[in-house]
């Protein structure tokens, strides 16, 4: 079976500027409407620290809410939330035993943001690509499951046409060559 991937890495600054800005979200991230799977990576190290945990959760919630308000998600999108650096979170269990319960609450809170999308699915993955101490956590923890989720057979539905904004000189030239008046 053949799989096609389009991996897009928007910068963090792009996301930060689009949080709570529905118009900018539509303009800059409209291409995401065509995605079957959207992966959001949350820094596990930030979640493991009490001083940065709430702001990290808040920013993620705001981003999801803005994407939803901007109608970025297709009707049957799978949103995968990846918590990176899970080895650091595991190490925090010793000093903060309730951190696993906190993570469960975070997952529940984030999933409630997709209630408005009928067939949307949200899945959570805990990964540790290169743990600080390989004795505490297996190298590549969770990566096989994450990659497998990207290659699962999905039912495909017709996607809506998305109008993309191509304003580069190259694209204008291409349109002129096709006979369009610009």
Q: What is the pLDDT of residue 182?
A: 62
Q: What is the pLDDT of residue 106?
A: 84
Sign of CA dihedral 139, 108, 33, 56: negative
Map out the domains of the chain as residue ranges: 12-157
Q: What is the pLDDT of residue 77?
A: 85
Q: What is the pLDDT of residue 165?
A: 59
Q: What is the pLDDT of residue 121?
A: 84
3-state secondary structure 18-81: HCCCHHHHHHHHHHHHHCCEEEEEECHHHHHCHHHHHHHHHHHHHHHHHHHHCCCCCCCCEEEE
**Average pLDDT for consecutive 10-residue bins of the chain (182 residues)?**
75 82 89 87 92 91 89 86 93 85 84 70 91 87 92 65 59 72 66
Looking at CATH, the fold of the domain delimited by 12-157 is given as Rossmann fold (3.40.50)
Its pTM stands at: 0.78
Q: What are phi and psi of 121, to 5 degrees?
A: -125, 145
Q: What is the pLDDT of residue 168?
A: 66
Q: What is the pLDDT of residue 116?
A: 65
User: Please, is 60 exposed, middle or buried when counting C-beta atoms within 10 Å of its C-beta (0-12, 13-18, 19+)?
Assistant: buried
């Amino acid at each position: 079976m053949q799989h096609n991937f389009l991996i897009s890495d928007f910068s963090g600054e792009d996301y930060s500027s689009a949080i709570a800005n529905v118009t900018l979200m539509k303009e800059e991230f409209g291409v995401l409407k065509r995605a079957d799977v959207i992966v959001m990576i949350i820094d596990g190290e930030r979640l493991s620290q009490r001083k940065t945990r709430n702001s990290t959760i808040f920013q993620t919630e705001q981003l999801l809410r803005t994407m939803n308000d901007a109608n970025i998600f297709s009707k049957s999108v799978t949103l995968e939330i990846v918590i990176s650096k899970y080895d650091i979170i595991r190490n925090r269990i010793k000093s903060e035993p309730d951190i696993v319960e906190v993570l469960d609450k975070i997952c529940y809170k984030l999933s409630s943001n997709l209630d408005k999308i009928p067939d949307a699915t949200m899945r959570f993955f805990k990964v540790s690509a290169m743990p600080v101490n390989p004795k505490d956590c297996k190298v590549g923890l969770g990566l096989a499951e994450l990659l497998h989720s990207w290659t699962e057979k999905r039912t495909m539905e017709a996607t809506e046409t998305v109008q993309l904004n191509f304003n580069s000189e190259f694209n204008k030239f291409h349109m002129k060559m096709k006979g369009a008046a610009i």
